[in-house]
Amino acid sequence: MLLALTPIQRTRIAGWLVCATAASYLLALALELSLLLPAVISWLAVAFCWPSLGKSAHKQAAILFSCGVIMLLWGVVKGTDVGLFSAISRNLPLLTMFTAVSFLALTNPEAEDTSQPMGKRGFWSTILSCHLLGAVINLSVIFVVGDRLQRKAPLTRGQIVVLMRGFCSGGYWSPFFIAFGVAMTYANGAQWTHTMVPGLILALLMAVFTYYEMRRYRINGFRGYPLKRDSLLMPILLAILVLVLHYLYPDVHILTIISVAAPIAALLFLKGRPRKQVLVNYIERRLPSVASQFALFLAAGVFSSGVAALIASYPELFQFNIQHISPWVFWSASLLMILVGLIGVHPLVSVSLASPLLLPIAQDLNQLAFLYLSVWGTATAVSPLSGVGLAMVSRYQASSLGILRDNWRYLLFMWFSAGALNWMIFGS
C-alpha cells in the first residue's frame, strides 16, 4: 500500500496521522480508554514518513529501535517482565505535546517592521526575542529572526552565538519546550514549579555571560532584531492560560494541560486567513516534518525500556554503590551527557540511556529533571550537530568549527553553574 502512494500522498497522510495521534491520546485520557489506538497511529505516522526522513533521523532511530528490541527480547528470554506495551507507548505524552506546541508556529510574529536596533539595545532585543518567543513558539522563531537579520548581510559570529544561546536556553525552564516534556517523562513525578526557578536562573546567567562575551564581537556594531510588545501578547496569555488550567485541574499532568492549551492559543492568534485552509495546509505540508521527531521519540522509548529490562535482568552488574545524586555525580553525569551531545547524539538519547541508571538513586525527582533540563539547554546551544546547530550551518552558512570555538567557554560556564545551582538548591 505504501509503495503505491506518491511521496506527496504519503506526506499528507502522515500529517493527518501525526494530528490524529495527539487527538486520540487526549481523547483516550479524557474517556479513560486504552492507549493502544494512539500508539498504533503514532507508529503508522512514522511508517508513512520513513522513506522521506533524513539520513541522521534514519540512522539514530534505527539503531535505537534495534538495540531496544534486542534488549527487550533478551529480557523475555531471561524471564524479566519487560512491559512491551509500555515500550511502544511510553513517549506518547511527549509526542502529543510536541504536536500541540508545533501549531504555535502559525502565530509567528510578522516581520513588517524594517527597523534594526543597534549596539547594546540590538543585542538585548535579539536575545530576548529568541528566548522569550522561542520559549513558546520554538524553533521557527530562529528562522524568523535569522532570516530578518540576514537581509542586509550574512549573519556574524556574534549573531549566531546570540541566536543559538538565546533560543536553546529556553530549554532550561520553559514548559513549552520539548526538553521539559522529556524531563517530566523520564523523571516522572517531578514538579515543574520546582525546576522552573533554577532554570530561570540559568537563563539569566546565559544572558549575562553572553553580554560580556559580546565585547569580543564589537557589541556597538551589533545589528539586532526588534522586539515588539505586541509579539509578547500571545506567549504571556498562553502562560496565564496554562497556570489557570493547572490551578483548576491540579491532578491533570502539566504536559496534558499544555497539549490542550497550545492549539487553543494557536487558533486564537492564527495569522493567516481563511483559518480552515491555513490549518489544513499546515497539517498536510508542515506537520509531517515532525515525523523525524516521532521516529526518534518512539525509538527512544523502546531503547529506554530495553535498557531497563537489561538492568532488571542483571541487577548485580549495575550496583555502583552510589546512594544518591551527589553534586559530583551531577557534575559528572551532566558533563558526559553534554560531551556526547557535541558529537551529534540527540539529548533525548542521552536521557533515555541515563534514566534507568539515575532513576534508582534519585532521592529527589526534581533534581533529576533539572539535570536533564540543564544538559538539554547547554548541549543544543554549543553543538553544531544539534537541530539548532545544523540549522545555523545549513541555512546561514555558519562554520561548525566556529560554533565549537565560540562556545567552549560558555559550555564550561553553564555546566559548572548548573552543578553549583544543584548543590545550593537540592543539596548534597
Give the separation between CA 301 and CA 298, rounded to whole angstroms: 5
Which of 49-53, 321-325, 339-343 tops mean pLDDT?
Answer: 339-343
Say what the pLDDT of residue 109 is.
63
Say what the pLDDT of residue 324 is.
87
CA nearest 257: which of 272, 273, 246?
A: 246
Radius of gyration over alpha carbons of the chain, in Å? 21
Say what the pLDDT of residue 331 is.
96
Indicate whether 38 pLDDT > 90.
Answer: yes
Q: Which pTM does this prediction carry?
A: 0.86
Say what the pLDDT of residue 194 is.
93
User: Would you say residue 398 lies in a domain?
Assistant: yes
User: Would you say residue 1 lies in a domain?
Assistant: no
* Per-residue pLDDT band at 132 (split at 50, 70, 90): very high
User: Would you say residue 332 lies in a domain?
Assistant: yes
- The mean per-residue pLDDT over the stretch 392-410 comes to 91
Indicate whether 19 pLDDT > 90.
Answer: yes
User: Would you say residue 230 lies in a domain?
Assistant: yes
Say what the pLDDT of residue 121 is.
92
Say what the pLDDT of residue 193 is.
87
Is the link from the previous residue into 274 a cis peptide, with omega within 30 of 0?
yes
The dihedrals phi and psi of 326, each to the nearest 5 degrees, come to -75, 170
User: Cell 529506554 sits at which residue?
Assistant: 304
User: Would you say residue 172 lies in a domain?
Assistant: yes
Q: Which of 33-47, 138-152, 329-343 has the lowest mean pLDDT?
A: 138-152
In angstroms, what CA-CA distances link 427 with 129, 159, 335, 422? 34, 37, 19, 7
For the record, the C-alpha cell of 408 comes out as 567552549
* Per-residue pLDDT band at 31 (split at 50, 70, 90): very high
* Per-residue pLDDT band at 259 (split at 50, 70, 90): very high
In angstroms, what CA-CA distances link 301 with 2, 67, 94, 95, 182? 25, 11, 10, 11, 11
- The mean per-residue pLDDT over the stretch 340-364 comes to 89
Range of the domain at 126: 7-426
Q: Which of 111-125, 173-187, 228-242, 262-276 has the lowest mean pLDDT?
A: 111-125
- The mean per-residue pLDDT over the stretch 242-256 comes to 89
Indicate whether 319 pLDDT > 70.
Answer: no
For the record, the C-alpha cell of 354 comes out as 541515563
* Per-residue pLDDT band at 308 (split at 50, 70, 90): confident
Say what the pLDDT of residue 140 is.
77
Give the separation between CA 138 and CA 170, rounded to whole angstroms: 9
User: Would you say residue 387 lies in a domain?
Assistant: yes
- In 10 A of CB 285, how many CB atoms? 13
* Per-residue pLDDT band at 112 (split at 50, 70, 90): low
* Per-residue pLDDT band at 53 (split at 50, 70, 90): confident
**What is the distance, to the nearest Å, from the Cα of residue 39 to the centroid of all Cα atoms in its chain?**
21
| Number of domains into which the chain is organized | 1
Say what the pLDDT of residue 320 is.
64
User: Would you say residue 169 lies in a domain?
Assistant: yes
